[in-house]
A and B are shown apart, each in its own frame.
Chain A
Amino acid sequence: MTHKTNRQIFALPILLGGSTVAGLGAGLIGDGVWDVGAGLLLALPLAVTGGYWVRQPATQSRQSQAPRVASIAR
């Protein structure tokens, strides 16, 4: 039960944000294959979100591990 570092917390968000930025840029650069790439890069964060959204919760024990007290709280 240790604190995650900012790097751990933001690794995936930064990856998905980077994908979004790349998609927004690729669409501006060109048509055709650039637009296809843009669509895929922009869809990646949506697909990942969808995956987490429908995912069945892991075991009950994992839920009970949710933090009761954070050291920072005191």
Chain B
Amino acid sequence: MTRGTIKAWYLVHKWTSLICTAFLLMLCVTGLPLIFEEEIDGWINPPAPMVALPAGTPSLSLDTILARAAKAAPGEVPLYISFDEERPIVYVTTGPTPDAVPAAMHFHAFDARTGAKMPPYVPGVMAFILELHTDMLLGFWAEIFLGVMGLLFFAAIVSGVVLYAPFMAKLDFGTLRRGRSKRLGWLDRHNLLGIVTLVWASVVGVTGTINTFVVPITAIWKANGLAEVIASEARTPLGPQRASVQAALDAVQRKAPDMKPQFIAFPGVVFSSQHHYAVFLKGATPLTSKLLLPGFVDAATGRLDAVVPMPWYMQAMLLAQPLHFGNYGGLAMKIVWAIFDILTIIVLGSGLYLWLRRRGGPSDQRVREVVMAGEIA
């Protein structure tokens, strides 16, 4: 590598890092408790007990559940129905209008077998931390902004790996020079921790960026991939009459009997069209459970219009979610996630320290530092 090349990569590393570090530190710090969101939520807000009924007690029709939700939220429209993964609980989300913002939505839980109302979900401290982590409470564009910060973080990782080669040309892996200057010690730690967290940080960073683009990616899919569904948009507006939601779910499930319902989106919400119940089924194995198959049922007539496998970019987006959250491999994986997260905080913090404590002089000085493994006396 020539000095010019090293200098170019150094400048990429410096500027991408300087711009994204403050935001990445915020993301790592808020992300740390979010790894254990399930455990912390379960501890703060223990799940309500359910009546014991014989195994195999059939579930009520979703239409019955919806009627109960309508009574619980007068004047609101249903937006989503979703299903608990472990217990026979059906969740109904309602809102004033189909395009209501999440803050205006209401969340109702029902025992799927008896229709009894369960204690409502109260967004607590974890929901607040999640909002901070997602968009700093500043909405859509702030979320996209954080996605761009994720891309800069990835560029900082790549340029850091490139600089690792000339820096380590004469050092053994894991060299930590002790008893020398404090800055040299942190330079070595920054390099060691940076190179071992590289894959994890890249995966979590890039999947985090992908997660910030859920709304636009979904919009692209709706515009391009759902031709049949879009064609139906030209029909007359949906009147007040509604077909059975339970029948809609049954119709889609007949097309994919091995799959289980994940959620149902009502007409007008982001995951549906203006005319349809969008029934999303998921696979029954750990891998396929991340991949969804949507079926679109005319909400007025109950006719099954289309079952459309998702395009690769939607599948990639869905697979990105567990890879970002680290919630798919049990407690051991969560602990690993937390340690990687803390190491990443140290990499970010030491990077900032190294820059603040740099010796004066032009950036050529930093290039010298890279090629001489920090040994600039």
- Give CA–CA (A10, B196) in the complex, Å: 11
Does A24 contact B323, Cβ atoms closer than 8 Å?
A: yes
| Interface members, chain B 164-195 (any A CB < 8 Å) | 164-166, 168-171, 173-174, 176-180, 189, 192-193, 195
How far is the CB of B8 from the nearest CB of chain A, in Å? 15
Taking Cβ atoms with an 8 Å cutoff, the residues of A that contact B are 1, 3-4, 6, 9-10, 12-13, 16-17, 20-21, 23-24, 26-31, 34-36, 38-39, 42-43, 45-46, 48-49, 51-53, 55, 57, 63, 66-70, 72-73
- What B residues does A29 contact at CB under 8 A? 286-287
- What B residues does A49 contact at CB under 8 A? 174, 192-193, 196, 343
Does B196 contact A38, Cβ atoms closer than 8 Å?
A: no
Does B373 contact A67, Cβ atoms closer than 8 Å?
A: yes
- B248-289 CB contact bits vs A (8 Å, 1 = yes)? 000000000000000000000000000000000000011100
Decide yes or no: A27 and B169 within 8 Å by CB, A46-B340, A52-B192, A72-B1 being known contacts.
no
Q: Select A70's contact among B329, B343, B371, beta carbons within 8 Å.
A: B371
Decide yes or no: A39 and B193 within 8 Å by CB, A3-B170, A29-B287, A66-B177 being known contacts.
no
Decide yes or no: A1 and B170 within 8 Å by CB, A24-B323, A63-B177 being known contacts.
yes
Number of interface residues of B (CB under 8 A): 48
Decide yes or no: A67 and B375 within 8 Å by CB, A9-B164, A13-B173, A29-B287 being known contacts.
yes
Does B329 contact A38, Cβ atoms closer than 8 Å?
A: yes
Does A66 contact B333, Cβ atoms closer than 8 Å?
A: no
Does B332 contact A46, Cβ atoms closer than 8 Å?
A: no
Decide yes or no: A42 and B169 within 8 Å by CB, A49-B196, A49-B343, A57-B176 being known contacts.
no
Helix, strand, loop or mixed for chain B's interface? helix
- Give CA–CA (A53, B342) in the complex, Å: 15
Helix, strand, loop or mixed for chain A's interface? helix
Does A27 contact B375, Cβ atoms closer than 8 Å?
A: no
How far is the CB of A67 from the nearest CB of chain B, in Å? 4
- What B residues does A45 contact at CB under 8 A? 196-197, 200
- What B residues does A23 contact at CB under 8 A? 336
- Give CA–CA (A69, B169) in the complex, Å: 12
Say if the beta carbon of B368 comes within 8 Å of chain A. Answer: yes
- Give CA–CA (A43, B328) in the complex, Å: 16
Does B372 contact A55, Cβ atoms closer than 8 Å?
A: no
- Give CA–CA (A56, B276) in the complex, Å: 66
Decide yes or no: A12 and B173 within 8 Å by CB, A52-B192, A73-B368 being known contacts.
yes
- Closest B residue by C-beta to A4: B169
How far is the CB of A60 from the nearest CB of chain B, in Å? 9
Say if the beta carbon of B102 comes within 8 Å of chain A. Answer: no
Does A4 contact B170, Cβ atoms closer than 8 Å?
A: yes
- Give CA–CA (A23, B330) in the complex, Å: 13
Does B371 contact A73, Cβ atoms closer than 8 Å?
A: yes
Does B170 contact A39, Cβ atoms closer than 8 Å?
A: no
| Interface members, chain B 300-350 (any A CB < 8 Å) | 319, 322-323, 328-330, 332-333, 336, 339-340, 343
Does B165 contact A35, Cβ atoms closer than 8 Å?
A: no
Decide yes or no: A28 and B169 within 8 Å by CB, A55-B174, A72-B3 being known contacts.
no
Does B174 contact A52, Cβ atoms closer than 8 Å?
A: yes
- What A residues does B195 contact at CB under 8 A? 13
- What A residues does B177 contact at CB under 8 A? 57, 63, 66
